[in-house]
Amino acid sequence: MCRATSMATNLAVAVAATAVGCMLVISLTPSSPPGGKNWPSAGRPTAAVSGHAGSAARAATSVLHETATGAGPEEPEKSEDFVPPPTGRIEVTAPKPGVDYKANGSFTAAWKNSTGEEVDVWLRAATGHGRSQRVALVVPRAEAGPTGEALVTLPKVPPGPRYVLEVATAGDGAVGAVSRTFAITE
């Protein structure tokens, strides 16, 4: 079944490449040698691909090229540009709700961090309809430990009842959490 699926996929790519005007040559090799002998573990079906150097040919043959070069779901290609996104969770534990803070004032922010990554702390302001926007970076590149704490000095912002702190992985912000809502007074 797997071989039939693989061949159907290869045929579909070849048809798609032909439809966009590309020349595509596919050479398939069997997944096991004749006579029932076993090949080494790397002996899965491969495809040799050649085609026009244009972008359509590259796009149409990229999946087949991965198979021909030995990369695939079991063995992803190593790339210096690709860094997997952080995993884990962040939980903001302070500031506590019900406390008002003065613009240009300071207070302590605290969090739990299971990502193992440094975090940035952002001040966010409510914009309405359950949305908010980042106003200022108040703590850049805080520690990567399992718990963190930092002194936050608020910038000069308009007073308002709906501000939060966002603690997110530094740079990409792929993992993050927000504090409870607090007010900023004059």
Pair 139, 109: CB distance under 8 Å: yes
Pair 95, 108: CB distance under 8 Å: yes
What whole-number distance in Å separates Cα of residue 168 and Cα of residue 160? 23
In Å, what is the CA distance from 50 to each residue of 29, 33, 67, 74, 77?
A: 15, 24, 13, 23, 20
Residue type, 82: F
pTM of the model: 0.56
- Reply yes or no: is the peptide bond before residue 95 cis, omega within 30 of 0: yes
Q: Is 73 exposed, middle or buried (0-12, 13-18, 19+ CB in 10 A)?
A: exposed
147 has which bridge partners? 112
> pLDDT tens string for the chain (186 positions)?
556 666 666 655 555 555 555 554 555 555 555 555 554 444 444 444 444 445 444 544 454 445 455 555 555 555 567 777 788 999 999 998 888 999 999 999 999 999 999 999 999 999 989 899 999 999 999 989 999 999 999 999 999 999 999 999 998 888 999 999 999 998
